[in-house]
Chains A and B, each alone.
Chain A
Amino acid sequence: MESLAHKDVINLLLQLASMLLVARVFAEIAQKFNQPAVVGEILAGIILGPTILGLVGPGVFEFLFQSNPPANLALDGIVQVAVILLLFVAGLEVELHLVWSQGKSALAISLLGLVFPFVLGFIFPYFFPEFFGQGEGNRLLFSLFMGTAMSITALPVVVRILMDMNLFKTKMGMVIVAGAMVNDIIGWLIFSVILSFMGQSANLSLFNTIGITLLFTAFMLTLGKGLLNRVLPWINKKLAWPGGLLSLSMAFCFMAAAFTEWLGIHAIFGAFIFGVALGDSDHLSEKAKEIIHQFINNIFAPLFFVSIGLKIDFAANFDILLILVILAISFAGKIIGSGLGAYRSGYELKDALAVGFGMNARGAMEIILGIIALENNLIDEKLFVALVVMALITSMTSGPLMKWALNKA
């Protein structure tokens, strides 16, 4: 087995230390302004990356992040694992029983909140691909991706806003949470199909890939979950707690991720679906969920978000017109779609508007979606930057806009 040289190890450790340190500082600052940590962590990446450090201290940037290719490769491996784990917790957050309990109104809000932005996100890029910054892929795939990118909702950001506003346990809060969960599942399903269309490193034909993706999802959510329900009590009773549960759930998460990567979709999809199945199991205690969340949110998530800023020069790829258009489409699609869903489910106009604003937060999911599309050459860097900015602005404005709508007489 090859190993890193002495200097590579030092470089890798310095990279990790600086990323975690700066991320923590900016996450704390973001929280002081009542913003989600992810805003600070992205900012930390921009500061450590070519955008700022590369400009003001090119020597330091070069030494830290460009001098040792083996260290960078190792870092890339860690970041890959971080993305997989992030999607695993995103899956864990989805509580199917809550979705079923909320019934039709959650479905109406999430489906309209998905269809509207999807259609808007699809139409404009389809007719103006150059303006939006299409990558090498074909126009249909690019537009499908844009539709998906516009329709996703970030559950953790939504939960945080609802908790801050003391709305979490209200009917509206639960409907928004359930709606966001449905959005997540459908959004990732669509995205996995787009990735399989691109057929990179696929071992199966396209038709088989889609079939197996759906089969895998159905299996994990029914029989897989049933299997987990039988195995988990044994793990909880017979093995060390929470050690046994943590290491085994990670092991199975990586296995599911490897399986979907082999299918030619993407590792994250397997991790996500495994997370959904595990999270929905009767025997995964809330305490265990909390530990998994904290372990991933505070160690792996910052590494991933900072790495975004390290890869891309935000200043050079900052296209204000594109950002404004993306913002307009994303706000209009989500607010009209989810708001209409809520209005049709019997909410008053101002409450329906609040639901729309609540569902508008894109957060981390958007950024993960974007970086995978960028890595697969589906979009260019300018569009990626616009998507990151949109994710941050929608996350930052969601809470204040909800407050505004609810306070309206």
Chain B
Amino acid sequence: MSCVGTCFCEKLTLFFWFDLVHNQTVRLFKIACGVKFYVLLSIQYSSSMYQKIALAIAFSPRMEALISETKRLVLLFQSELILIHIGKKTDELEAKLDEILLKTGLENIPTKLIWKEGKPTKKIIEACREEDADLLVVGALKREKILTYYMGSVGRKVIRKSKCSVLTLINPSVIAKKFSKMVINGTQLEVTPRVISEGLKFCQVEQASQVHILNEIKMYGLRMATASEKSEDEVSYIRRKLVQDEIKYVEDILANLDQTGLKINIKVTAGKWAVELVRYCESINADLLIMGDERGYTFIDRLFPHDLEEVLTELPCNLLIIK
């Protein structure tokens, strides 16, 4: 496995390459030898994007379906599975869980069970951090009841606050199906190049039949109205250029990425990007929407929904948030 590392020592920065023989996740070394050295390693896995996949479970009717879906992903990414349950550990629940694990055929998969007591959102996130999970899978309703939405359900709170990537499944099925039509958010944000890169890797592993990357022209109406002070030819040139600029933005990101086996369609819309993403996913009946997350969201963001919150108001399909 090849690794890229950066070493910081006061003002001195060193770049180095080395190979790791063992399949070991090394994130941070702290070597104390008089001076503090911090070595940060970002590991490029050729075999697996996700080493550890966590699933938050509650004993709900959808639990079996959620486990089946996650099992499919665990096999796909050759990962370890971590099951997190927040609540009191009782013999009865343990027996019930064992039964489900047996039924879903998890006995042959390396699985770790974590029981924690406390506030569900906080404890789920804490467990993910402790276990160094790369992906957290949660179930969520397509649309919350209005009060639950404003108060914040566990599912949505986890999406907002999780430090690792989160896959939200809105309609899990006991007979797990692969994601075929994927939509990646290509709107111009700081995280977008990374989202597209990670998203494509996910699509490749999943062997998606079609990948749509959606970008949008910001404030198209006002910009075109401003441009209308110019002549007809200039206005139509500006109109074309606005579209071409957005396509080029995505193409430039794609140029450096491996697209083997993928059919990629770049689409440009105008308006609020989150709203357009939701609409587009609904119109093509997408299986999975992949997007990034720029920052933590608060109650105010729910009162005036924007960006991710706009998507969370009503999930159009399953949602993968890359963090």
Residues of A within 8 A of B271 (CB): 285-286
Q: B221 interface residue, CB < 8 Å from A? A: yes
Residues of B within 8 A of A169 (CB): 188, 218, 245
Q: A100 interface residue, CB < 8 Å from B? A: yes
Residues of B within 8 A of A282 (CB): 272, 275, 310
Q: A406 interface residue, CB < 8 Å from B? A: no
- Of A2-10, A79-87, A156-164, the stretch lying at the interface with chain B is A156-164
Among B221, B226, B275, B301, which residue has its beta carbon within 8 angstroms of that of A287?
B221
Among A163, A168, A286, which residue has its beta carbon within 8 angstroms of that of B221?
A286
User: Given A98-B219, A101-B307, A286-B270, are A163 and B225 also a contact pair (CB < 8 Å)?
Assistant: no
- Of A202-210, A247-255, A290-298, the stretch lying at the interface with chain B is A290-298
- Of A89-97, A326-334, A396-404, the stretch lying at the interface with chain B is A89-97
Residues of A within 8 A of B295 (CB): 103
Please name the residue on chain B nearest to A161 by beta carbon.
B226
- Are B304 and A96 in contact (CB-based, < 8 A)? yes
- Are A294 and B220 in contact (CB-based, < 8 A)? no
Residues of A within 8 A of B188 (CB): 169
Give the A-B pair count, Cβ closer than 8 A: 88
Contact with A along B200-227 (1 / 0, CB 8 A): 0000000000000000011111111111
Residues of B in contact (CB 8 Å), total: 30
User: Given A100-B306, A163-B227, are A289 and B222 also a contact pair (CB < 8 Å)?
Assistant: yes
Residues of B within 8 A of A177 (CB): 219
Q: A27 interface residue, CB < 8 Å from B? A: yes
- Are A160 and B306 in contact (CB-based, < 8 A)? no
Taken together as a complex, chains A and B put the C-alpha atoms of A100 and B226 apart, in Å, by 23
Residues of A within 8 A of B225 (CB): 156, 289-290, 293-294, 297
Q: B229 interface residue, CB < 8 Å from A? A: yes
Please name the residue on chain B nearest to A37 by beta carbon.
B229
- Are A289 and B229 in contact (CB-based, < 8 A)? no
Q: A377 interface residue, CB < 8 Å from B? A: no
- Are A96 and B306 in contact (CB-based, < 8 A)? yes
Shortest CB-to-CB span from B90 to chain A, Å, is: 43
- Are A222 and B303 in contact (CB-based, < 8 A)? yes
Taken together as a complex, chains A and B put the C-alpha atoms of A293 and B24 apart, in Å, by 59
Residues of A in contact (CB 8 Å), total: 36
Q: B27 interface residue, CB < 8 Å from A? A: no
User: Given A96-B304, A100-B304, are A293 and B222 also a contact pair (CB < 8 Å)?
Assistant: yes
Contact with A along B294-305 (1 / 0, CB 8 A): 010000110111
- Are A95 and B303 in contact (CB-based, < 8 A)? no
Residues of B within 8 A of A155 (CB): 222
Q: A31 interface residue, CB < 8 Å from B? A: yes
Q: A221 interface residue, CB < 8 Å from B? A: yes
Shortest CB-to-CB span from B145 to chain A, Å, is: 15
Taken together as a complex, chains A and B put the C-alpha atoms of A210 and B317 apart, in Å, by 44
Taken together as a complex, chains A and B put the C-alpha atoms of A95 and B272 apart, in Å, by 9
Residues of B within 8 A of A288 (CB): 221
- Are B226 and A159 in contact (CB-based, < 8 A)? yes
Give B residues with C-beta under 8 Å from A. Answer: 188, 217-230, 245, 270-272, 274-275, 295, 300-301, 303-307, 310
17 A-B pairs within 8 Å (CB atoms) are namely: A27-B229, A37-B229, A92-B221, A97-B304, A98-B218, A100-B300, A100-B306, A103-B295, A159-B226, A222-B304, A282-B310, A285-B271, A286-B217, A286-B270, A290-B220, A290-B225, A298-B228
